[in-house]
Every structure is written in structure tokens, then in C-alpha cells.
Amino acid sequence: MAAAEEAPAGTAEAPKKKKFSGKKLVLFILLPVLLLGGGGAAAYFLLLKKDPAAEEHAAGAEDGKTEEASGEPQVYVSLEHPLQVNLVSTGKRTSYLNLDLWLAVKNEEDSKKLEAVMPKVIDQFQVYLRSLRVDDLQGADGVQRMRDELLMRAKAAAKPVEVEDVLIKSMLAQ
């Protein structure tokens, strides 16, 4: 009976159909589908979706609030002296912050008005900066939070002048 099961040496057996195992199914079918889907989603978000900052800039251009639309460049007013404050410290070592700033206003007339109220602005800056710790100024996020807070305080102290931005000329925390 064993001889009947053996095929003669000259004849070929019919090939057996192999099924994909679970690993091969994942590797050759599921993984490429997921990669293509992820690539398509990335392309949509990076290339086709509009940038919110670009939309905001376009909205500002329509309102005439951009520098090019108004025809007047911003005027930058420098603080007379750099701000030097001691920061809140928990140890024996005292930390200091040296900060030199520019304030941006719409035009030359506003810059003259800002010069008149600059003592109020500097006072507001001093009060805020003296409440900071060195840890509050760590990294780009910390510096951006400080700039936002300074801008808010400058706008409040300089009324009726509209301060548009606070720019850091130099900053040293030690």
C-alpha cells in the first residue's frame, strides 16, 4: 500500500494552495493599508487644510489692519533703560532678570503719547516681573507667557494709546 501512495519519480505532484498566516496577513496587507491611510491623512492636514494663522492674516488684510494695507509701518519705542529686577527665590541665592524691550505702536503720534505714559507702563512691568521665579522663564513657552502678560499690562497702562506688541531686545536671567 505504501507503494501506491508514492508517485513515480517522473511525475510532478499538484501544488498545494497555501493560506496566509496571521503574521503575513498583517505584514503584507494590513500594514500597507494603514501606512497609505496615514500618509493620506498627513497630506490632507499639511497640504490641503488652511492654516489658522494664514486665515487670521487674510482676515486682517481684509479689515485693513495690516501694515501694508494701512500704508504706515509700526513704530518701535525703546525703553529708556533696561529693566533690572530681582526674581522670587526660595534659596539663599538671589536671582535677577535684566530685560530690554521695545513697544510697538501704530504711528509716530502714538509713540509720542506713549512716551508721556511710559512711567506707568514701566511701573506695571516692574510689579509683574518681581513676582516671577526663574522657573517661570524656562523655555520658549515661559518667555512667550511673559511677553503676553507684559503686552496686556502695557495696553492697560498706556490707554488711550494702543500698544500692539512687546518685543524683547535682550533678556538675561541669572
- 83-137 pLDDT, tens digit per residue, is 888 888 877 888 888 888 888 888 888 888 888 888 898 898 888 888 888 888 8
pTM of structure: 0.57
In a domain, 145, yes or no: yes
Residues 39 and 92 in one domain: no
Parent domain of 49: 22-71
Handedness of CA 5, 7, 13, 18 (dihedral sign): positive
Residues 81 and 65 in one domain: no
Report the distance separating Cα 131 and Cα 83, nearest Å.
14
Evaluate whether 164 touches 104 at the Cβ level (below 8 Å): yes
| Res. 49 pLDDT band, cuts 50 70 90 | low
The proportion of the chain whose per-residue pLDDT surpasses 70, expressed as a percent, equals 75
pLDDT computed for residue 69 by the predictor: 47
CA–chain centroid gap for 90, Å, is 30
CA angle 95, 101, 104 (to 5 degrees): 150
In a domain, 107, yes or no: yes
Residues 169 and 83 in one domain: yes
Residues 158 and 78 in one domain: yes
pLDDT of residue 11 exceeding 60, the answer is no
Tell me the CATH number at 118: 3.30.479.30
